[in-house]
Structure 1
């Protein structure tokens, strides 16, 4: 039976991002190991811990709403993770791979930013105030991670990549 309510959309979207975050907990350690830049490696490791906290927040949101998640696989994240894995395989360890990993990670962050923004709005519209607050907290973390990656790219990795290419 096809879903038809705003709450159905909320549950589906929350289930989808839950799957996305679980996939990310498996991908981030691989990205960290593939990074040559110590600050990039640390950023991936830090985001792994944040991601675990975000999964806990989703569980709290689900509980506060009195809903049940569906067992689905986020195909968007599956593709983004696969793309990151291709970057690891296609580039030798070093600053060029690090630049590619940042690009892959920022695609993930932008996907998550869009998703959590939508989820927070849906939660608010449905009257799920506690869930909205939790989702906005995660949205803020995702935006911060994206900004940290941008700064890392600008201040370190791009310069290292340019020097390696010279």
Structure 2
């Protein structure tokens, strides 16, 4: 236990000298009527606490228990939600079609990248190489370290070791 804990429990005392035993002083005795008047004044100053949680408070004179306006009945809410949902679904379908056409462009033939290339595709390559256990920094630049990692990967997978990431290397990286 720490020193503070020992002090708090009274096991350990400070090195301060103790005060001599002084006679106990009795609190001043008030007259009974004076004591009663002080008690009544205190009860008036400090009322008993009555806390109302905010969810049960009335705001602007309108009770929360009042029914919603007819505009917000169940049928109208269902119509509004289904209208918003159909708009959202249409936009998701359109986004999906756009994404599929972009993917189809790359599915025909993956791009070839080599030493000196840079950009998002190099970042993807570097992340794939990291996932395959090659420690490198993902910076989007196909430099000497990236080329060495590509050659090591190609050697391990029995591909032609040229340091160029073409169709066969992409396929092996993404399997």
Determine which structure has greater relative contact order: mean sequence separation of CA pairs < 8 Å that are 6+ residues apart, divided by chain length.
1
Q: TM-score range by the shorter chain?
A: under 0.3
Instruction: Decide which structure has the larger Cα Rg and report it.
Output: 2
Give me the TM-score of the superposition, normalised by structure 2: 0.22
Give me the TM-score of the superposition, normalised by structure 1: 0.22
